[in-house]
């Protein structure tokens, strides 16, 4: 039986345990912080690694070679269809020890029995040469573009989580079984029969201002499919890049077997499933990785290799951002308001300011109508009395007529004063409503946003405090004096 009292922890082990504890806390916080799927984060952030083209020469560059070099640089700088290429000229005479090139390329060049110059060597991001020989405009175009790659780019730009690229083998029966299984798997994902990680839609955690507002829905995950014939000359370089991921993929034992590669993000391919390895479990593992929550790690720490494409990945990233909204990783495609809506003070609604004016107009019109009716009654009543008296009395005097006229003038003056008084009161009421209501509305909105902002800051501060307390406790336990 092991006695923990007799267990001694060395100083080196204690420090190592403390470092691992800190890394675990930080890594856990990083994982929990991001809910963006891997395939979308890769499209937003993961720049494809370049394919390096080395031009080994001993003589000066002539006009023809200069044109080829200019074409390579133009393809790498083209905004509409950028190719992930890098050109480096190596003068074997001046740099006889090849100190200006990477060690893996130098090792490969030194192992060549016949070092003929001039020649071009195209190297993958893994340091594997896929071309050794001449280069012209036709070879360059076939190197960076092909129909299958255009199909892959089109599907990735539409928001598919990944594209399953199947390379056929010489065994037709195995090809049919693999293709049928892949198509059924893709259809099951599209129909929702296969449950995958679906991140909460943008705005899901944002408090709704209107109770009648519907909750945002999450888009359905889709996976694409492309079939490539191993003997298709148009796909020669596409096949070379895929088969260069592992050393033995070109061996005879795999020539008759179909292969399946999942391509996601900006043209990054996962290691292949071969032959009987093309089954639902392995396909699900691949799709689970590309659709899972991103750990926000460095791209090179994730499985796969970048392929050679000629396209504008920034346009594809903008399409995905427009489809899925402002999520972590897509900050370059949106403004600050899209990511921090709760912290923004909304503008005061103009409708609330215009409403009191309409009520004031209605009040003024009603008051004026009442005053006019009072004047009419005041003026009609004396006329009826005069008519009655005229029938009963034989004559009227000039003094009575003068008195009636004076009464009418006085009534009109009184009515005018009343109308002016009512209008002044209505204007004052409207002014008071205009000055008080917007202030009240603005204060309510500001207080609500401020409380939401402070609540978010408080939660973040509490989370950091708890993390630091745990880290301090773990460090004290393993590093305290014995």
Residue 246's pLDDT band (boundaries 50, 70, 90)?
very high
Contact (CB, 8 A) for 250 and 243: yes
Residue 250, pLDDT above cutoff 70: yes
For the chain, give the longest Cα–Cα distance. 147
> 430 or 281, which is more confident?
281
pLDDT at 19: 44
Among residues 105, 100, 99, the alpha carbon closest in space to that of 127 is found at 105
Residue 82 is predicted with a pLDDT of: 94
pLDDT number for residue 244: 94
| Residue scoring higher pLDDT (17 or 254) | 254
pLDDT for 429: 41
Phi and psi torsions of 218, nearest 5°: -85, 135
**Among residues of the chain, what percentage have pLDDT more than 90?**
42
DSSP state, residue 247? T
How far is Cα 194 from Cα 38, in angstroms, rounded to an integer?
18
Report the pLDDT value the prediction gives residue 422, as an integer from 0 to 100: 45
Q: pLDDT for 366-386, tens place per residue? A: 555 665 565 555 555 444 444
pLDDT mean over 324-334: 63
Q: Which range has the worst mean pLDDT, 83-97, 283-297, 398-412?
A: 398-412
Q: Work out the average pLDDT over 144-166.
A: 95
Q: What confidence tier does 139 reach under pLDDT thresholds 50, 70, 90?
A: very high
Angle of helix 313-324 versus helix 147-157 axis, rounded to 10: 30
Element (H, E) at 67: helix 63-77
Q: CA quadruple 273, 279, 280, 281: dihedral positive or negative?
A: negative
Q: According to the model, what pLDDT value does residue 68 have?
A: 94
| Pairwise CA distance, residues 324 & 470, whole Å | 36
Higher pLDDT, 280 or 215: 280
Average pLDDT, the chain: 75
Mean pLDDT of 236-259: 93
Per DSSP, the chain holds a count of helices (H) and strands (E) of 13, 12
At 300 the pLDDT is 79
Residue 406 has pLDDT above 50, yes or no: no
Residue 325 — very low, low, confident or very high, per pLDDT cuts 50/70/90? confident
For residue range 24-61, list pLDDT tens digits in order.
444 444 444 467 889 999 999 899 999 999 999 988 88
What's the N-to-C CA distance of the chain in angstroms?
Answer: 23
For the whole prediction, is pTM greater than 0.75? no
Judged against a pLDDT cut of 80, whether residue 198 lies above it is answered with: no
What is residue 321's predicted lDDT score, i.e. its pLDDT?
86
DSSP 3-state assignment of 384?
Answer: helix
Please answer whether residues 140 and 131 qualify as being in contact, where contact means their C-beta atoms are separated by less than 8 angstroms. Answer: no
Tokens 């002539």 sit on residue: 62
Q: What is the pLDDT of residues 262-278, one digit of tens each?
A: 999 999 999 999 999 99
Handedness of CA 190, 193, 199, 205 (dihedral sign): positive
Residue 453's pLDDT band (cuts 50, 70, 90):
low
Q: Model confidence at 442, in pLDDT bands (50, 70, 90)?
A: very low
- DSSP secondary structure string for all residues of 88-144: EEEETTTTTT-TTS-HHHHHHHHH-S---SSEEEEE-TTS-EEEEE---HHHHHHHH
Instruction: Give the per-residue pLDDT at 90.
Output: 92
Task: Please report where in the chains the tokens 């255009």 appear, as a residue.
Answer: 150
What is the spatial distance between Cα 111 and Cα 259, in angstroms, rounded to a whole number?
30
Is 17's pLDDT higher than 70?
A: no
Whether residue 118 is preceded by a cis peptide bond, meaning omega within 30 degrees of 0, is yes
pLDDT higher at 353 or 115: 115
Mean predicted confidence (pLDDT) in 87-99: 89
Supply the pLDDT for residue 132: 92
Higher local confidence (pLDDT), 137 or 219: 137
Q: What is the pLDDT at residue 7? A: 37
Tokens describing residue 174 = 């195995």
pLDDT at 218: 58
Measured distance CA(217)–CA(233) in Å, rounded: 44
Q: Are 163 and 238 in contact (CB under 8 A)?
A: no
What is the pLDDT, as a whole number, of residue 287? 93
């Amino acid at each position: 039986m092991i006695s923990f009292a007799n267990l001694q922890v060395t100083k080196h082990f204690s420090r190592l345990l403390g470092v691992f504890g800190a890394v675990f806390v930080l890594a856990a916080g990083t994982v929990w912080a991001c809910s963006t799927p891997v395939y979308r984060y890769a499209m937003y952030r993961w720049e494809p690694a370049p394919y390096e083209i080395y031009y080994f020469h001993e003589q000066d560059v002539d006009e023809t070679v200069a044109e080829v070099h200019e074409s390579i640089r133009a393809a790498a700088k083209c905004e509409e269809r950028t190719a992930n290429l890098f050109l480096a000229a190596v003068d074997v005479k001046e740099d006889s020890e090849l100190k200006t090139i990477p060690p893996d390329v130098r090792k490969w060049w030194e192992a060549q029995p016949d070092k003929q110059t001039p020649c071009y060597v195209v190297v993958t991001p893994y340091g594997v040469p896929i071309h050794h020989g001449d280069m012209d405009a036709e070879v360059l175009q076939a190197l960076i573009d092909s129909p299958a790659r255009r199909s892959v780019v089109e599907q990735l730009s539409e928001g598919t989580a990944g594209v399953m690229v199947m390379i056929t083998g010489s065994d037709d029966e195995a090809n049919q079984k693999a293709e049928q299984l892949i198509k059924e798997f893709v259809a099951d994902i599209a129909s929702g029969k296969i449950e995958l990680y679906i991140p909460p839609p943008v705005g899901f955690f944002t408090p709704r201002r209107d109770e009648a507002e519907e909750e945002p829905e999450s888009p359905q995950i889709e996976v694409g499919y492309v079939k490539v014939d191993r003997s298709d000359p148009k796909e020669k370089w596409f096949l070379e890049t895929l088969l260069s991921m592992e050393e033995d993929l070109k061996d005879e034992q795999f020539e008759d077997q179909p292969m399946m590669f999942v391509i996601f993000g900006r043209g990054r391919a996962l290691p292949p499933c071969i032959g009987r390895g093309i089954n639902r479990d392995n396909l699900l593992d691949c799709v689970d990785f590309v659709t899972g929550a991103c750990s926000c790690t460095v791209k090179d720490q994730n499985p796969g290799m970048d392929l050679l494409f000629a396209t504008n990945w920034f346009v594809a990233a903008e399409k995905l951002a427009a489809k899925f909204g402002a999520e972590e990783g897509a900050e370059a495609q949106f403004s600050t308001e899209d990511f921090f809506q709760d912290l923004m003070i909304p503008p005061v609604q103009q409708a609330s300011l215009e409403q009191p004016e309409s009520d004031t107009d209605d009040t003024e019109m009603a008051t004026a109508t009442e005053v006019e009716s009072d004047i009419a009654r005041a003026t009609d009543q004396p006329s009826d009395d005069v008519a009655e008296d005229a029938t009963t009395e034989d004559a009227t005097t000039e003094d009575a007529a003068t008195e009636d006229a004076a009464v009418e003038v006085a009534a009109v003056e009184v009515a005018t004063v009343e109308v002016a008084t009512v209008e002044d009161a209505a204007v004052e009421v409207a002014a008071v409503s205009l000055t008080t209501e917007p202030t009240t509305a603005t204060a309510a909105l500001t207080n609500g946003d401020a409380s939401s902002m402070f609540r978010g800051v408080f939660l973040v501060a509490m989370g950091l405090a708890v993390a630091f307390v745990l880290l301090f406790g773990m460090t004290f336990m393993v590093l305290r004096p014995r």
